[in-house]
Chain A
Amino acid sequence: MNFISLDFAVFLPVVFLLYWNLFNKNPRSQNALLLVSSYVFYSWWDWRFLFLIILSTLIDFFVGRALEKENRPLRRKLLLGTSILVNLGLLGIFKYFNFFLDSLYNVVPGLQVVLGFNTLEWILPVGISFYTFQTLSYTIDVYKGRISASEDIISFATFVSFFPQLVAGPIERASHLLPQFKKTRNFDHSIAVEGLRQILWGLFKKMVIADNCAHFANLIFNNSENFSGSTVLLGAVFFSFQIYGDFSGYSDIAIGASKLFGIKLMSNFTYPYFSRNISEFWRRWHISLTTWFRDYVYIPLGGNRGSTGKTVRNIFVVFFVSGLWHGANWTFVFWGLMHAGFFLLFVLLGKKRTKSNVTAYNSIFPGPKDFLLMCFNFFVVTIFWIFFRAKSLRHAYSFIGEIFSYSFLTVPEFPGKKEALITVVLVIFLVIIEWWGRREEFPLKKLKMTRWQRYSVYYILILLIIFFSAPGEEFIYFQF
């Protein structure tokens, strides 16, 4: 079930009313309703997907219980290995099997004939990259003794399949989310209102910003050879805002919807395009995934505590895996590696943790240095996004080549230029609002206004959505 659909617009209020009026006696009944609702939500795409998530849930629940009781190191390793094998195995088969097989056949011609089988034809289950990582983090944390295993299968299953964050995150940690399912949630008016505001803001980012930018990004990326350098760069900028509006919009809707049920999810985006360097960018973009890789890949490999060579290796491994997580295509891997290279510059120059505060926290405008750093960082990230979006590495190279050609100095020309101007104005509006609200979790979080002023703000946003929402594109991160 897509967040931007009438089905969800009916589903959410129904579950909300049942949750707070009929199922609010104790945590067990609340969790039972959330679990059933989550399975309904997930099976709306394809009921067959349920088998996988239930399998993953059961295996990790029983592995966790067994780990709690088991003291022998070898047995504990075997149990953990089982969970890793099942979760990554599912991910590997559904997401990467065809990719690796195709790559192998390209490298070793004739192997296809020898092996005698072709790529498999099956659908990638929605959200598999997200919930497998979530359950994997649970079993690893139980193994390491960071958390106790859950004794209640209902609350655990709800933790795995909680519908607002099931298909595109944030990827939650058991230590943060599971305890919330173990206690009774009481209705909090201010949290619920905050949730609705965050949903509205998310809808604006997705339907107005992301979907409008998508139209022009697709037009330019799909015909890049016919456009000038300046137009092609504009296409890349449109994609930067498309992916930000799309993914952060989805996260806002997910977090806002969770607040309606008294559940607090972690922030996934904290204004990443206001970052002053690549290190800061990765502390603000898709935070749940980057912290997952930091805690379960980078730190176990040694982090930056070993030699410089090991630090370099660890950084490349993390970004390589992160790129691969995004998709079964070498463009994603290359995208990850490019970020690794740029990130390393900061590590090796010892500047990694210099920018951890909100940009220009005590001023209205950024200083000239901060402004230039933000622009430069945005430019670099946008160039890297080209690899993320391009159909192939060759397409990405020719796209970048077009940007850095003499035609870069011309005025952009492409069909629908006037409509694109409206999109640019909307993007500027987004940037202004987000800059104004950058100290908060999301811009509308604290509106110090009278009720009628707040209602006016909401109505303006709703009208902007009605007037400027573009024909719906699917959420980009559903494909991961």
Chain B
Amino acid sequence: MKRFLSQLGLFVFLFIFIVGGIFIFEKFFAQAKLKSENSIIVVGHSHPETAINDSLIAGLVNFSSSGEAYNYNLYKTRFLLQENPHIKTVFIEVTNNNIEPGQDLWVAGEEKMRHYLPRRIQFMNWGELIFLYKANPDAVIKTFFPVIQQRFTGLFKGFDYRDDLGGYRHLTSELPATIQVTPSPTDSISQISKLNLEFLKGLVNLCKKRKVEVFFIRSPLHENYPRNNEKTLKSILSSRFGDIEFLDFSHFPLHNQDFADLEHLNQKGAAVFSIWLNQQIEEGLLREKNKEEFVKQKIEELRRDDQPKFSRTISENECF
């Protein structure tokens, strides 16, 4: 019996040693180096992921990823800032669905955890892992195999995470041209997410600690996108994040055909918006004293004109 237990113990210990070794190896060798001219990063979920084509914006890299909650954004951003001290600005997407109660499932629900925990665990500390375990122990246990799988995959592929942390994704579908605009009421929902907003606070504090400028952005949305919690959103921004400027691009004028659906731009819309955003950044958006007002005015000007002042003839190359 002793011999059996000692041999079994040796076998298990060796396995833990090998897997643990890979974890430690990964911690040392993980990297995601950006070019020195890329000093702006964007983090968020699928809205900025599909709206911001970073190949059309100088000095900006989009690290948004579908379905990613603020906790995973936090772990990822912390790693990026550590690897790239030349990052000066972080844009964080904050839109209506980020504050919904359902976002707590994005933070600690099994579905998102199965996808994101294996891909972000290398950037987490023990406290953060224990937090997720306490929030949903079953889900964490179920991700045990995918976590180990991802470590071994990293061993073969290398630990350069530059392309694995998110990025622009183009969509090709279009809304029908004939949709009528019917905006929703703005004050009918007041419940909010607890966890996601806590992590947003954490993300902001991280940027402040690293002395990096942080702005909230809201990517373009179709006028029919439900904004039932708009007043709640504005109230949270002013009460909890009053010192963070909110660059609201949600009313950026686009045709129906520039949207893949009510909340995501397709490649045409992304190109239009990204070229315009690039122009604003080059013309000094980030040097303006009151950036929020500046963006509001610029968008109002665009909406007043029958035709936008920038070219809408987008080449095929700009669409991808």
Contacts and interface: CB of A to CB of B under 8 A. Distances in A.
Nearest to A455: B11
A199 interface: no
Contacts of B149: 466-467
Contacts of B3: 189
Contacts of A462: 15
B29 interface: no
A21 B2 CA distance: 11
Contacts of A463: 152
B157 to A, nearest CB: 14
Contact of A459 (B1, B7, B15): B15
Interface residues of A, number: 17
Contacts of A187: 1, 4
A318 B81 CA distance: 71
A187 to B, nearest CB: 5
Interface in A147-180: none
B4 A192 contact: yes
A6 B152 contact: no
B105 interface: no
A44 to B, nearest CB: 15
A104 interface: no
A193 interface: yes
Contacts of A20: 1
B288 to A, nearest CB: 50
Interface size class of B (residues with CB under 8 A): 10 to 19
Interface in A455-480: 455, 458-459, 462-463, 465-467, 469
Contacts of B310: none
B14 to A, nearest CB: 7
Contact of B145 (A192, A455, A466): A466
B30 interface: no
A214 B16 CA distance: 31
Contacts of A324: none
A196 interface: yes
B8 interface: yes
B165 interface: no
A6 B144 CA distance: 11
B148 interface: yes
Nearest to A467: B149
A466 B148 CA distance: 7
Contact of B14 (A6, A192, A455, A467): A455
Contacts of B135: none
A458 B11 contact: yes
Nearest to A17: B5
A17 B85 CA distance: 53
Nearest to B18: A459
B113 to A, nearest CB: 14
B244 interface: no
A463 B148 CA distance: 9
Interface string A6-31: 10000000000000110000000000
Nearest to B138: A6
B141 interface: yes
Interface string B3-35: 110011001001100100000000000000000
Nearest to B142: A6
Contacts of B15: 459, 462
B141 A6 contact: yes
A20 B4 CA distance: 12
A187 B4 CA distance: 10
B152 A467 contact: yes
A467 B148 CA distance: 8
Contacts of B141: 6
A215 to B, nearest CB: 16
Nearest 6 Cβ contacts at the A-B interface: A187-B1, A466-B145, A189-B4, A466-B148, A6-B141, A192-B4
